Amino acid sequence: MLIIKSTERTCRMRILFADDEVEVRQEIAKSLKKVGYEVIEVGDGIELLKQLAPQNPNKPDLIITDILIPKLDGHTVANVAKKQLKITTPIIALTAIPPNSIIDISEPFVDILHKPADPHDVLKIILTLTCPNCCNSILSVDYKQHHHFDCKKCHKKYVLQQQDGELVLTEKINLK
């Protein structure tokens, strides 16, 4: 089993997680909380949309949604969030739909994970999308060195590497 650690956080990132499968939601939420994230769990698309309402003061820093959730599917919620509510929060899709069956739904999502999703894969994606220092959404990625990330807000640089069987996100320090 791969354990993910991150550098010490100076912010507490809020993740909104929507999935109607309670066991899946609880397993992934537990892993996220263990690493220090605040997780708001909902079981359907209407509850997800309520959490994104402009009058809600507890806006998420990241959204993870199952595509096939009841009442209002995750893809529709993501489109409403981006196009009508003008939300810029990154949204990750989680789905049981086979990869070859997904056509033209990637638009509102920064990434798509397929079920059964390993909580560690979810954590890896989150670590590559957010800065542990300032919680700025979307780090720029050096695609030549796939595991190097730069925060455009606080200008810190990070490297994601494996150490003693664990995936560790560490800050890169330039010595001059």
pLDDT digits (tens, 9 = 90+) for 16-72: 999 999 998 998 898 888 777 889 999 999 999 999 998 888 888 889 999 999 999
pLDDT digits (tens, 9 = 90+) for 131-166: 766 666 555 554 444 566 777 777 777 777 666 766
* Domain 3-134 sits in CATH 3.20.20.80: no
| pLDDT on residue 4 | 41
> Pick from 128, 152, 144: which is nearest to 6 by CA?
128
Alpha-carbon span 15 to 32, nearest angstrom: 9
Top pLDDT among 172 and 65 is at: 65
**Helix/strand/coil (H, E, C) string of 107-148?**
CCCCEEEECCCCHHHHHHHHHHHECCCCCCECCEEEHHHCCE
Alpha-carbon distances of 118 from 45, 52, 58, 122, 170, rounded to whole Å: 22, 26, 27, 7, 22
* Prediction pTM value: 0.73
Alpha-carbon span 20 to 96, nearest angstrom: 12
pLDDT digits (tens, 9 = 90+) for 93-122: 888 887 776 666 567 787 888 888 877 778
